[in-house]
A and B are shown apart, each in its own frame.
Chain A
Amino acid sequence: GAVVSQHPSRVICKSGTSVKIECRSLDFQATTMFWYRQFPKQSLMLMATSNEGSKATYEQGVEKDKFLINHASLTLSTLTVTSAHPEDSSFYICSAPGQGVQLFFGSGTQLSVL
């Protein structure tokens, strides 16, 4: 079946640094991918829609300059958390639609900002 690979699975960084998270569709092309954030013991919140070859669409309240999204190819979307702060510590997860309405999720990235 279709697989979405997300890397890294865990990252610890210092406050003020930037962190890049990659989301790859391994055996299918995805013109659209989605990024979610999940705080401990909470649900997933849609952050943005990543569009291949064009700008990402951000949900209300998500800072586009803080969370840079690039979707340069049909199989790769990246989320860069810029100038990370402890409050950005969260679980980030991406998804990509396969055929029809089925979605495939990455395994997530646990970001810890010290």
Chain B
Amino acid sequence: SQQGEEDPQALSIQEGENATMNCSYKTSINNLQWYRQNSGRGLVHLILIRSNEREKHSGRLRVTLDTSKKSSSLLITASRAADTASYFCATGINQAGTALIFGKGTTLSVSS
């Protein structure tokens, strides 16, 4: 089964609102990554948080990691219509952390 499980599966919000997506995983990790995928296209790496970090920011993105609960959250603040996409968390299953297991993803729709 997949390493990461995300909720919600789908999220619809208005522009300007914040969007929060959650991810849970099953085994110990070295890091957790978040990716974005526009419909039918490749992946864009958003942010990586290491297992010894609790929170990380990048622009309007804020990621938290709770290793005791094996969970992470991605917060997008002040969302825009252009943020509409699917978002996936991923963890590495090999030693280098480069072979990824992806969560089921959250489809975010931001309407203007």
Are A43 and B105 in contact, with the CB atoms below 8 A?
yes
Are A42 and B104 in contact, with the CB atoms below 8 A?
yes
- Assess whether B25 is interfacial by the CB under 8 Å rule: no
Are B101 and A46 in contact, with the CB atoms below 8 A?
yes
- The 8 Å CB contact of B98, one of A6, A44, A101, is A101
Are B42 and A49 in contact, with the CB atoms below 8 A?
no
CB contacts (< 8 Å) of A110 on chain B: these are: 40
Are A97 and B88 in contact, with the CB atoms below 8 A?
no
- Assess whether A105 is interfacial by the CB under 8 Å rule: yes
- The 8 Å CB contact of B41, one of A95, A101, A107, is A107
Complex CA–CA separation, A20 to B105 (angstroms) = 28
- Assess whether A103 is interfacial by the CB under 8 Å rule: yes
CB contacts (< 8 Å) of A43 on chain B: these are: 2, 88, 102-105
Q: Which of A6, A32, A46, A108 has the most CB of B within 10 A?
A: A46
- Assess whether A34 is interfacial by the CB under 8 Å rule: yes
- Assess whether A91 is interfacial by the CB under 8 Å rule: yes
Are B102 and A103 in contact, with the CB atoms below 8 A?
no
Complex CA–CA separation, A107 to B40 (angstroms) = 9
Of chain B, the residue at the smallest CB distance from A96 is B98
Indicate the size class of the contact surface on chain B: 20 to 34
Number of interface residues of A (CB under 8 A): 23
- Assess whether A93 is interfacial by the CB under 8 Å rule: yes
With contact pairs A34-B98, A34-B100 given, residues A101 and B42 touching in the complex (Cβ less than 8 Å): no
Are A101 and B88 in contact, with the CB atoms below 8 A?
no
CB contacts (< 8 Å) of A91 on chain B: these are: 40
Q: Closest CB-CB distance, A109 to chain B, in whole Å?
A: 10
- Assess whether A102 is interfacial by the CB under 8 Å rule: yes
Q: Closest CB-CB distance, A81 to chain B, in whole Å?
A: 18
Q: List residues of A whose CB falls within 8 A of some B CB.
A: 6, 32, 34, 36, 42-46, 49, 91, 93, 95, 97, 101-108, 110
Known contacts A43-B88, A44-B43, A91-B40; can you find 15 more A-B pairs with CB under 8 A? Answer: A6-B42, A32-B98, A34-B98, A34-B100, A46-B101, A49-B94, A95-B43, A97-B96, A103-B45, A105-B42, A106-B42, A107-B41, A107-B42, A108-B41, A110-B40
